[in-house]
Structure 1
Amino acid sequence: MNNQNYYQTIFDKAGDAIFIHDVDSAKIMDANQAAEQLTGFTRSQLLTMGVEDISAHSQGFNFPHAMSRIRQTARSGVIKFEWILQSTTGKQIPAEVCLKIIYIDQQAKVLALVRDISEIKQYQYALQSKDEYFKCLLESSADGIAILDTQAKLLYASPSLEKITGYRNRLALKKNILHLIHPEDRAQVRQFLYRELFHPQEQTQHLNYRFLHHSGQWRNHEASCKNLLLDPNIQGFLINYRDITERIEAENMVRTREKQLGHMSRCKTMGELSTALAHELNQPLAALTNYITGSILRIQNGLANNTETLDALNAALEQVQRVSNIIRSMRQFLKKGEANFKILQLNQLIHLIAPLIELKAEQGKTKIYYELSPTPIYIYADETLFSQVVINLVFNAVDALQHHTENGEVYIRTWQHQDLARMSIADNGPGLNGQNPEQLFESFYSSKIDSMGIGLTLSRSIIENHQGYLWVCEGTPGAIFNISLKAQGRE
């Protein structure tokens, strides 16, 4: 094969389209098979055409533009640029073009190597669309997104930074955010980042802290963190954060109102028991008076002996303890103040409020049966609030029985099932009578005419604040209210 045939074969079989143009007119002097496939024109058709005939005029790829590129090639020797071709069907084809001046028979020609980059452009467009999509998400998101380095310096912040913190993005970059964390929370945040640095967790970790707003106000933030130091696109801690100040204030307000409602409910309960309390206190006080008076008279008349006097004093002491138990139960039940969670023995707590339960039962002519766990069960609870729930459930049962049966019975049971402390208050009354169980826990719903309808709602709220559950189901007969809390180890 001679050299001419050799180069002709390379020209024809090349994978990229090759055009040879006249320097002065941009007319096509020759084209290979790949050029035919790319444009859809035959070689004979192409040889009658100029560069403007295979270009997308609507996109500005016209003859003046082509000649400008050829002149640039004449000056520089080789240039590379992007162009849009137009095929015989009108299809527009993005292409990468490399122009070079060559000499054929000592005459300057333009060699154009043309590569179809349609797939590359589609991929770039898809990436650009995705970038714009995520950029739109970031700009419209109410939550903040930030990237921190290992020194807690801000590498990136989404546009919501200024809305959440008051700081402008460009002024905050490269700043150490630990200086803006509340001093009492700073060590916690530092330790959190340190743990993520050396012991990264698979799951996203969450943290609450106070952040200094640009206005000078301390705001409550909630953040999640993911260690992406090894991700080449991130190379830092990815932080998602939000301002939860209003939410915390609302939660505090709800808790305050719940405490106020709880205290009102307890006072109302004591008011309902006032007659029974007076009777229950008068009995031991009268007995106490009799024991002491009798002992004094015997001593004054010289009729007393040590044994009789000691028996009378012991009997008087029992009555004092009875009064003391009632008063202690009342004081505990009416206690007002901040919640005080601690490890409590469930059965002991029930024994403490038993005097009040017995008073209500006597008033309602109901029998109370205690079926308590033979082994201690420990719960993490506020004594006053948990007692209020139990008393409220028992009192509701007694009230329900008063109107439906003369032989009312209430069963208070405690037991432990695996890691759960369980308690139930069951009665032999009419049960739910087809009522929706969940409706009983709705605010202001009550089957009692003189009730405010907050007892069961408040009780469920208290138990949920104890990380537990309160629900009701049908008994055989009656209704059963169930409480489930996580059991604790002994204090």
Structure 2
Amino acid sequence: MGGFELDDFKRMMEALSSCVILHDAESKAILWANPAACAMLGFTLEELLPLKAPDMSSSAKPYERETGLRWLHGAVLNGMNVIEWCYRAKNGEEILSEAIATLVHLARRDVVMVQFRNIEREERVKREMKRLESRLKEFMQDSDEGLAVLRPDGGIEYLSDAGRKLLGLAPDQPLPPFTDLCDPASRRELRDLLKLALPDALSFPFSYTIEPPGGARRWHQASCRHIEIENDLKGHLLHFRDITQQVEAEHARRHQQEALEYLARYNAMGEMATAIAHELSQPLAAIRNYLEGAVLRLQAPDPSPETIAWGLRNAGRQVDHAAAIIKSVREYVVKLDQAEALVDLNEILAEIRYFIEVKAEEAGVPVELEPCDGPLMVSCERVLIGQVILNLAFNAIEAMQHRPGDGRGIRIGSARQDGKAVLAVRDHGAGIDAALHERLFDGFFTSKVSGNGIGLALCKNIVARHRGDIWAQPAPEGGAVFCFSLPLQ
């Protein structure tokens, strides 16, 4: 024993300032506790021995008896196990502790020795340090981010040097109210925000526009939260940075998008012009023939009024036919500048049906239209969505031109699926390799010998702007299916 008796070890254990409780390794029952543990928990050793985990632990869920038993058993299995445990003293006080359970092999039995210490003060200090660190991090941002503390009336309590630069204020210039630097709309929003006494943890993001004296308008993005630093600052802490370049880039992107959509509105007109020219050539040729026939009959020695009238009536019918074709085009074109509205997707399909059938008839491709029962109400710009349908339909028709006559055909159908309106264009063409499906709409892919794929890219842009999706998939019977969906209203 190295000069120590067994009683010496016992007295040393009892003199420890660290709290120690011994548990039976098998039953987990308390066998002994040193005076430090008894003093912290407020129980005598006799009172402590019959206690179970619920009698001396917090009632919170993380400290349930089963959790404590698993922790002690983990020490039996692994030799040692550490846990953060909340003990409950005899007087009801809860004591957050770091507890270390260690398996000890004694002569007569194995025990689990639990050493624990009160870490409540340490945790409180950690929380305070974390809060201070968070505040320091808030104040010590990069120099391109401004920092201000604003009073409820919009006045500036504190402004960093970077903030002065972002607001266009000289280093020695008196600080005007922050709200006076904002445009009217942003001024109202900021004043409403400053009336709120937000909790420290809540940060409120927003954007605003400033109009510095003699400077150009700038856009800022900011986060705001209410702070109260004892004997220091009180108000709304504002972090802000200049996002003018991003805003201008977004405006340029929108302008480009509008230009693309403008092209999309008129993209189908070239396709239509060819088909309409072919369609009009027949009635115009017939009109010419009927009129020339009527002229020849008038020049005959014995003109027949009945045959002349028959020719003129047929010429008139052909004029009506040509007028109907022109009317269909006119009715479509006058809608080119319509804004987004609530419309039936099936109605859009019906409006452009004529143009699809003219294109398909010229190519010798049968077309089946299968609109679903009932309206599919979506919020969209009908001509742009009509352009998407035309583009997909015309692509399908072109894919059919090299197929045998009995293998040709496209089918256009609509459906209601999971709160969305879905339109699908199916063809019986060669299909598209599955590995290429992801590239179909990237603006560069095309399966045509001449072409740059911009049609599908435009379709993707239009559908995305309408909060929808567009995709392609193989058709079960062969060929490809191009689909897009829009949210139902």
Q: Distance in 2 between matches of 1:359 and 1:270?
A: 13
Alignment partner, residue 347 of structure 1: 346
CA shift, 1:277, in A, is 2.2
Q: Distance in 2 between matches of 1:204 and 1:126?
A: 17
| Counterpart check, 1:321 vs 2:324 | yes
Alignment partner, residue 135 of structure 1: 139
Q: Distance in 1 between matches of 2:391 and 2:134?
A: 58
Is 2:265–2:383's contact at 8 Å kept on the other side of the alignment?
A: no
User: In structure 1, the residue corresponding to 2:360 is in which secondary structure?
Assistant: helix
CA shift, 1:262, in A, is 4.7
Is 1:292–1:313's contact at 8 Å kept on the other side of the alignment?
A: no
Q: Distance in 2 between matches of 1:288 and 1:418?
A: 52
Alignment partner, residue 416 of structure 1: 416
Alignment partner, residue 456 of structure 1: 456
Q: Distance in 1 between matches of 2:251 and 2:363?
A: 38
| Residue deviations 1:407-455 (CA, integer Å, cap 9, x gap) | 3322222233354232222222232223332111223222212112222
| Counterpart check, 1:194 vs 2:192 | yes
| Residue deviations 1:58-115 (CA, integer Å, cap 9, x gap) | xxxxxxxxxxxxxxxxxxxxxxxxxxxxxxxxxxxxxxxxxxxxxxxxxxxxxxxxxx
CA shift, 1:371, in A, is 1.6
Letter in 1 for 2:439: Q
User: In structure 2, the residue corresponding to 1:255 is in which secondary structure?
Assistant: helix
CA shift, 1:325, in A, is 0.1
CA shift, 1:168, in A, is 4.8
Structure 2 unaligned residues grouped into runs of 5+: 1-121
Structure 1 unaligned residues grouped into runs of 5+: 1-118
Q: Relative to structure 1, is the Cα distance of residues 127 and 369 closer, same or farther in structure 2, using a 3 angstrom cutoff?
A: closer
Q: Relative to structure 1, is the Cα distance of residues 393 and 418 closer, same or farther in structure 2, using a 3 angstrom cutoff?
A: same
Is 2:205–2:223's contact at 8 Å kept on the other side of the alignment?
A: yes
User: In structure 1, the residue corresponding to 2:366 is in which secondary structure?
Assistant: strand
Q: Relative to structure 1, is the Cα distance of residues 265 and 422 closer, same or farther in structure 2, using a 3 angstrom cutoff?
A: closer
Q: Distance in 2 between matches of 1:179 and 1:215?
A: 14
Q: Distance in 2 between matches of 1:204 and 1:287?
A: 76
Q: Relative to structure 1, is the Cα distance of residues 198 and 275 closer, same or farther in structure 2, using a 3 angstrom cutoff?
A: same
1:49-448 maps to which residues of 2 (within 5 A)?
A: 132-136=136-140, 138=141, 140=142, 142-168=144-170, 171=173, 173=175, 175-183=176-184, 185-186=185-186, 189-191=187-189, 193-194=191-192, 197=195, 206-213=205-212, 215-226=214-225, 228=226, 235-264=234-263, 269-286=268-285, 317=320, 319-329=322-332, 331=333, 335=336, 340-404=339-403, 406=405, 407-448=407-448
Is 1:288–1:320's contact at 8 Å kept on the other side of the alignment?
A: no
Name which of structure 1's ranges 241-250 and 315-324 shifts more when overlaid on structure 2: 315-324
Is 2:440–2:446's contact at 8 Å kept on the other side of the alignment?
A: yes
Is 1:149–1:236's contact at 8 Å kept on the other side of the alignment?
A: yes
Q: Distance in 1 between matches of 2:289 and 2:331?
A: 24
Two-structure CA RMSD over aligned residues (Å): 4.5
| Residue deviations 1:146-169 (CA, integer Å, cap 9, x gap) | 443332333344543234332257
Letter in 2 for 1:321: A
CA shift, 1:234, in A, is 7.2
Q: Distance in 1 between matches of 2:292 and 2:223?
A: 73
| Counterpart check, 1:487 vs 2:485 | no
CA shift, 1:481, in A, is 2.2
TM-score, normalisation: structure 1? 0.59
Q: Distance in 2 between matches of 1:258 and 1:428?
A: 33
Is 2:182–2:208's contact at 8 Å kept on the other side of the alignment?
A: yes
Is 1:222–1:241's contact at 8 Å kept on the other side of the alignment?
A: yes
CA shift, 1:345, in A, is 2.6
Name which of structure 1's ranges 317-326 and 205-214 shifts more when overlaid on structure 2: 205-214
Is 2:388–2:459's contact at 8 Å kept on the other side of the alignment?
A: yes
Greater radius of gyration (CA): 1
Alignment partner, residue 19 of structure 1: none
Alignment partner, residue 472 of structure 2: 472
Q: Distance in 2 between matches of 1:366 and 1:196?
A: 66
Alignment partner, residue 31 of structure 1: none
Q: Distance in 1 between matches of 2:203 and 2:426?
A: 43
| Residue deviations 1:252-299 (CA, integer Å, cap 9, x gap) | 323333444455566665445543221112234456678999999999
Seq. identity, %: 28
Q: Relative to structure 1, is the Cα distance of residues 151 and 409 closer, same or farther in structure 2, using a 3 angstrom cutoff?
A: farther
Q: Relative to structure 1, is the Cα distance of residues 176 and 324 closer, same or farther in structure 2, using a 3 angstrom cutoff?
A: same
CA shift, 1:217, in A, is 0.5
TM-score, normalisation: structure 2? 0.59
